[in-house]
Chains A and B, each alone.
Chain A
Amino acid sequence: MSNMKYLLLRRVTQMTLLVLYFGANAYGWHILEGTFGASRLFGFIPLADPYTTVQVLASGFVLGADVLLGALLITVFYMIVGGRAFCSWVCPINMVTDLANWLRRKLKLDKEEVNYRFLKRRTRYWIMVLGIVVSAVVGVAAFEVLSPITIMQRGIVFGFGAGIAVIIAIFLFDLFGVKNGWCGHLCPLGAAYSVIGSKSLIRVKHTHENCTNCMECKVVCPENQVLHMINKSSIAVTDGDCTNCGRCIDVCNDNALEFGVRSFMKQETRSGDFSHTSK
């Protein structure tokens, strides 16, 4: 089971958060209330999603101090500590797309490398900006009217209704459509967290001397363009697209990958690859 350590930890984290949110509605717990849009921790600490907050501000409404403070807290946390960890440690859609990805591998749907002409990994950054523009034009937080992330979370807390169709659509898209299609190409929330967390401290580090070039890490990595240093140089994964999921560490049998604290002193940012335009 040692090669499942971070996977299990992530699932436990994701499930625990959902249970706490569910209990807040169903049993009146005051540990973690609300949804990812805005929450309350321990009944008084406000938390809010930075991208949602920006959309609401763009739509022309001056938000209450609770949301602004909450968005600031979340931003600071991921900016300094977590990186893009929201995507792999918190977001419930991650479980859906991971399942689709796992099935893809089992069904050997990945044999052919397909070049999606219009759907690049950088598309999500366009969508992120577009979401803010559309919010301003239409006067409503644009991603929030279709976000599968909050639809799934609210589904679990308050009941799904027809919203389950959105989740199934994402699953099918990732399974039969584009590999890592939603999380890796389209999701503007993930793009926002990539930008926020691009300079964060917790990073996967590679020890090139231990690497046997088995490429297992690249097979499981949902953003494998960030692992460009594998068996090439002993540097950290500094690309903001890395979700810190730790799957690469799990599958590595050679102790060539581990979590570490990024050091800005060394040359590991040599490649300076924060452009988010890789691949």
Chain B
Amino acid sequence: MATSNNRRKFMATTFQSVGLTALGGLLWSGYSDEVKASPLVLRPPAALPEDDFLKACIKCGLCAEACVNRESNQNRDGSQRKGTLQMAKGGDHRMIGTPFFVPTDVPCYMCDDVPCVPVCPSGALDMPSILNEKKELDINKAKMGLAVVHKESCIAFWGIQCDACYRACPIMDEAITLEYQKNERTGKHAFLLPVVHSDICTGCGLCEQACVTEKPAIFVLPIEQATGVAGDHYVKGWDKKDQQRVQNANEIHTKNERSKQDASEYLNMEVEY
């Protein structure tokens, strides 16, 4: 009798332990997965793609410390300025403890010596990705994000002369160029339209900070959110390089109800709604 009681107790405890562990694991997994999902965040230069970055970042803050304490980050009187990189706190709605920046707050000034990247101990900031041919750090190779112009709120598109973003850009006349267009409304003025070139733009955010409109009409988005992908269906037939891009394209077979029939068959059918 006592033995069977003990066995029953043992079984109950085992099931309870397994059950509670599973419960804890599910809650924990759910929570961890949710806090990962904050795609609209700008990371330091040379950061790995967001998914890998969140795995790799060990939340040590060495990048942020190198950023705020760099020599160039002082006012004329020697006092410290705020750093670009912040460490996400509770309430920031970004993965807690990871570095990020907000251009309207403090943009990235694209220091020549890139102090934030070499200090990263984990590899979340991937130094090789911003080395040039001479194996020197080259901040111009950084891809923190991409500036996007909202033409409806950009006053240059209204015909008012403004080139604040163009002049603020550290890679002036390359990352943002001004395109001239005739202003048909007045008949005698020109539009000077800012155009961002995604192969040059580093996403530093100096343009966003410089923008004169109430809410910036030019703003930096993470590359993933700011870019499209043409895919293998379209190719520049006049461009040899682009032909290479689709070399490994796979044929796609769509299988649905219609593909059972011949094309001429279903195209000649009456439309069924």
Contact = CB atoms under 8 A, between A and B. Distances in A.
Nearest to B33: A138
B64 A162 contact: no
A37 to B, nearest CB: 4
Interface residues of B, number: 42
A163 B64 contact: no
Interface string A121-153: 000001100110110011111101110001100
Most chain-A CB neighbours within 10 Å: which of B17, B62, B92, B122? B122
A96 interface: no
Contacts of A239: none
Given A34-B62, A48-B58, A66-B122, A161 B90 contact: yes
Given A66-B122, A162-B89, A162-B90, A150 B31 contact: no
B91 interface: yes
Given A70-B121, A118-B20, A151-B90, A134 B61 contact: no
A157 interface: yes
Contacts of A34: 60-62, 65, 121
Interface stretch (B48-56, B227-235, B238-246, B251-259): B48-56
Nearest to B92: A161
A99 B55 CA distance: 34
A127 B56 CA distance: 22
A154 B61 contact: yes
A102 B89 CA distance: 29
Contacts of B31: 145-146
B96 to A, nearest CB: 6
Contacts of A61: 52, 55-56, 122-123
B264 interface: no
A62 B21 CA distance: 28
A154 B60 CA distance: 9
Interface stretch (B2-10, B22-30, B156-164, B170-178): B22-30
Interface stretch (A38-46, A80-88, A176-184, A228-236): A38-46
A52 B89 CA distance: 18
Contact of B28 (A38, A67, A142): A142
Interface string A181-201: 000000000000000000000
Contacts of B65: 24-25, 28, 33-34
Contact of A154 (B32, B35, B58, B97): B97
Contacts of B91: 161-163
B79 to A, nearest CB: 12
Given A139-B51, A163-B89, A163-B91, A157 B61 contact: yes
A105 to B, nearest CB: 30
A37 B60 CA distance: 5
B69 interface: yes
Contacts of B35: 145
A38 B57 CA distance: 10
A244 to B, nearest CB: 26
Nearest to A46: B121
Interface string A157-175: 1111111111000000000
A118 B16 contact: yes
Contacts of A141: 55, 58
Nearest to A166: B90
A150 B90 contact: no
B68 interface: yes
Nearest to A130: B25
A163 B62 contact: no
A166 B28 CA distance: 16
Among A25, A48, A145, the one with the most B-chain Cβ atoms within 10 Å of its Cβ is A145
B86 interface: yes
A60 interface: yes
B87 interface: yes
A25 B95 CA distance: 20
A163 B93 CA distance: 11
A133 B21 CA distance: 11
A160 B89 contact: yes
Contacts of A146: 31, 96
A63 B68 contact: no
A64 interface: yes
Contact of B121 (A40, A62, A140, A150): A40
B61 A35 contact: yes
A12 B36 CA distance: 37
Count chain B CB atoms within 10 A of each CB in A48, A118, A134 and give the residue with the most. Answer: A134
A27 to B, nearest CB: 8
16 contacts: A34-B60, A35-B59, A35-B61, A37-B97, A38-B60, A40-B121, A130-B24, A134-B28, A134-B29, A138-B32, A139-B51, A145-B35, A145-B95, A151-B96, A158-B86, A166-B90
Interface of B: 16-17, 20-21, 24-25, 28-29, 31-33, 35-36, 51-52, 54-56, 58-62, 64-65, 68-69, 80, 86-87, 89-92, 95-97, 119-123
Interface of A: 24-28, 33-35, 37-40, 46, 48, 52-53, 56, 59-64, 66-67, 70, 118, 126-127, 130-131, 133-134, 137-142, 144-146, 150-151, 154-155, 157-166
